[in-house]
Amino acid sequence: MASAAEQLASNLNFAAFAKAEDLKKRIWFTLGALLVYRLGTYIPLPGINPDAFAQAFTQQSGGVLGMFNMFAGGAVERMALFALGIMPYISASIIMQLMTSVIPSLEALKKEGEQGRKVINQYTRYGTVLLALVQAYGISVGLESGAGIVTEPGIFFRASTVITLVGGTMFLMWLGEQITARGIGNGISLIIFAGIVAGLPSAISGTLELGRTGALSTGLILAIIVLAIAVIAIIVFFERAQRRLLIQYPKRQVGNRMFQGDTSHLPLKLNTAGVIPPIFASSLLLLPATVAGFSATTTMPGWASTALAALGHGQPLYMLLYAAMIAFFAFFYTAIVFNPKDTADQLKKHSGFIPGYRPGERTAEYIDYVLTRITVVGAIYLVLVCLLPEFLISATGVPFYLGGTSLLIVVSVTLDTVAQIQGHLIAHQYEGLIKKSKLRGGKRGR
């Protein structure tokens, strides 16, 4: 027998969406905020020679700058106001999550509920400002070192660049929070999503142009389309996959009444770490190429040049290290964000237990055992999804725009946003049913 929520979800249609005025306002607000973000990626920094910078960026696009440019919606390529994007906030959030597992005071703050979460969010904002200051100053120094990029180098250019880039990042952080509160979906994730998707039309047109000129065969382009659809379907399946542990609650007596024990489930996601492992792994692997690109190749020793060549895209060593780092960060980040002991203590506190396992330490050991097993499957899934575009690029030379990391972000954010839209529609349906029941009750009273 389907629940009331499942029945309402099955009856959702366009008519229900048309009546949900609050949801439409939220969607329009989200679209307007993303439009403001896209406009900011086209406003260049003052004092920059666009032609000289475009030439310098082309030489460095194969490193970590290329990945950041994709996440920033092309703002790095144009050195726009939002060139830093939202990545300092993402980095600060990850650092805070790591610190809450290491520093006891922050861990205690995390357990204080809503008030503790607000304090941690404030610390995350401070960390964002600090990281943005360091990165913005590094960018200003790097721009001055380029030949002819900066029209008037000096302290004024560095100060204006730092203020502009840090201000852009803080505005994006505020914009993301506004989208989360007044729009639909997670604002930070939607900003990254918009930056990635913005470059998709040009990538598709470029691929079709290669097919028109004969550089790519029609069969290969069709195979790429089929492969992309298959990969998206696999990502949807694995991102929604869960292992549900049965939780039982004993019978309880209130006064003279005996209440039957309830049952529920503890959902464990197959991919608890999300997109963090591919981001970390790709950033670390692309960092040597970026650093080497800024240094003179003639001054590099022979072993460094050999190592740099072995870490190039499509090379066996690159593939091996990429897979190993993804697997490592999948386990590492899962251990950071999910603590089986805390979960077992919460179940024990509310008199819940897993059938066949004693509450407390035995329950924590069982949850950790199950989590480790499903994380193995999740890590394999991440490795395959992220390495498939790399193999495609190295084997066929096809400029595959959506790599594993970006594809995971796009699909995950889409699933989350659709789920939130559906939740708002279900809530609207419930409100309609409650109003109808009140009206009927009032008529009967008369």
pLDDT of residue 297: 46
Q: Where are the domains of the chain?
A: 21-198, 199-402
Dump pLDDT digits (tens) for 160-202: 999 999 999 999 999 999 998 898 888 888 888 888 888 788 7
Q: Which helix (H) or strand (E) holds 258?
A: strand 257-259
Summarize the chain as % helix, strand, coil (round to 5). Answer: 75, 5, 20
Q: How confident is the model at residue 431 (pLDDT cuts 50, 70, 90)?
A: low
Q: How confident is the model at residue 84 (pLDDT cuts 50, 70, 90)?
A: confident
pLDDT of residue 6: 45
Q: Is the pLDDT of residue 33 over 90?
A: yes
List residues bridging with 269 in a β-sheet. Answer: 242
- Give the Cα separation of 207 and 308 in Å (integer): 29
User: What CATH number has the domain spanning 199-402?
Assistant: 1.10.3370.10
The answer to whether domain 21-198 and domain 199-402 are alike in fold is yes
pLDDT of residue 443: 56
- Size (the chain), residues: 446
List residues bridging with 248 in a β-sheet. Answer: 263, 353
List residues bridging with 247 in a β-sheet. Answer: 264
pLDDT of residue 319: 82
Distances 64 to 50, 176, 192, 287 between C-alpha atoms, Å: 20, 24, 16, 6
Residue 271 CB neighbour total at 10 angstroms: 24
pLDDT of residue 71: 73
pLDDT of residue 309: 65
Instruction: Name residues whose C-beta falls within 8 Å of residue 103's C-beta, 6 or more positions apart in sequence.
Output: none
Q: Is the pLDDT of residue 91 over 80?
A: yes
Query: Which of the pair, 280 or 432, is modelled with greater confidence?
Result: 280
Query: Which of the pair, 76 or 236, is modelled with greater confidence?
Result: 236
Q: Is the pLDDT of residue 376 over 90?
A: yes
Please report the DSSP string for 56-67 in residue order: HHHHHTTSHHHH
Rounded to whole angstroms, the maximal C-alpha distance in the chain is 93
Instruction: Name residues whose C-beta falls within 8 Å of residue 187's C-beta, 6 or more positions apart in sequence.
Output: 33, 175, 176, 177, 178, 179, 180, 181
In the structure encoding, which two tokens stand for residue 303, read together?
Answer: 């072993």
Q: How confident is the model at residue 446 (pLDDT cuts 50, 70, 90)?
A: low
Residue 261 CB neighbour total at 10 angstroms: 12
Give the predicted TM-score (pTM) of the model.
Answer: 0.79
Q: pLDDT averaged over the chain?
A: 79
pLDDT of residue 347: 83
Q: Is the pLDDT of residue 58 over 90?
A: no
**Superfamily grouping for domain 21-198:** SecY subunit domain (1.10.3370.10)
Nearest to 196 by CA among 324, 6, 56, 37: 37
Dump pLDDT digits (tens) for 326-336: 999 899 888 88
- Are 45 and 81 a contacting pair, CB within 8 Å? yes
Nearest to 405 by CA among 180, 198, 192: 192
